[in-house]
Amino acid sequence: MKKRRMDFRVRWSGLEELYEEGKVRAIGVDNFTQDRMADFLFFQKVRPAVNMIECNTYFQREKEAEYLKQQNITMQAWSPLAAGQKNLLEDPVLCEIAKAHEKSVAQIVLHWLVQRGIVPVVKSVNPKRMKENLDIFDFELTADEMERIRQLDTEHSYATSRDTGKAVTEFLEAAMSYQV
Ligand SMILES: NC(=O)c1ccc[n+]([C@@H]2O[C@H](COP(=O)([O-])OP(=O)(O)OC[C@H]3O[C@@H](n4cnc5c(N)ncnc54)[C@H](OP(=O)(O)O)[C@@H]3O)[C@@H](O)[C@H]2O)c1
């Protein structure tokens, strides 16, 4: 017989309990598109404080950002530098803006997210780059620069999208196989 797996809503109830008992200050989710989020919010007691989704200059998620803002849920961006793919760090527009501000392209992209009200979750194993990635709060991008970056949006993920039933099932089977 097929083993019953624990649905994420059951796990969320556990997190809600911890939140209500004051044992954790905030609880959140990741990879919720707005259709899933609207459904989730309708049935849950505690709203997620954050939703972490893929977002970078080539996949800007404007509609998702707008929806999360309306719902007062903080948007976090995973792979803000597109995980080093798509030559994001060599993009000519970003290089030009970086030069104008005497910053690196990574700093421009991270600041661009912050200026949009989005929290970047960037990964680095290099202490020099970790420091660089935090040094992004001493400049502002102009409206023209924001618009030039907006035009880089391809509206496509660099990562595999899970927008079919087959893709979701395969993802869940792989994810469940890691659980103890
Ligand atoms: N929730 C989810 O579904 C999900 C999915 C994917 C990722 N994530 C999380 O999101 C976080 C970031 O995503 P990610 O690692 O995929 O992509 P990322 O942060 O966009 O890119 C990481 C890559 O960029 C390099 N890098 C970092 N800072 C740099 C800088 N200042 N200059 C040049 N290169 C720089 C890193 O190399 P070095 O390490 O050598 O500096 C690494 O190769 C991770 O913690 C990951 O676990 C979550």
pTM of the complete model beyond 0.75: yes
Is the CB of 77 within 6 Å of ligand 1? no
Alpha carbon distances (Å) from 161 to 11, 149, 165: 24, 23, 11
Question: 123, 126, 130, 168: which to mutate for ligand 1, most atoms within 8 A of CB?
Answer: 123
Is the CB of 46 within 6 Å of ligand 1? no
Which pLDDT value is given to residue 101?
A: 98
Tally Cβ neighbours within 10 Å of residue 19. 16
Q: Is the dihedral of CA 30, 50, 12, 64 positive or negative?
A: negative
Domains of the chain: 8-176 (3.20.20.100)
Reading the block at residue 151, the tokens are 């035009």
Span from the CA of 53 to the centroid of ligand 1 (angstroms): 13
Name the average pLDDT for the chain. 93
Is the CB of 58 within 6 Å of ligand 1? no
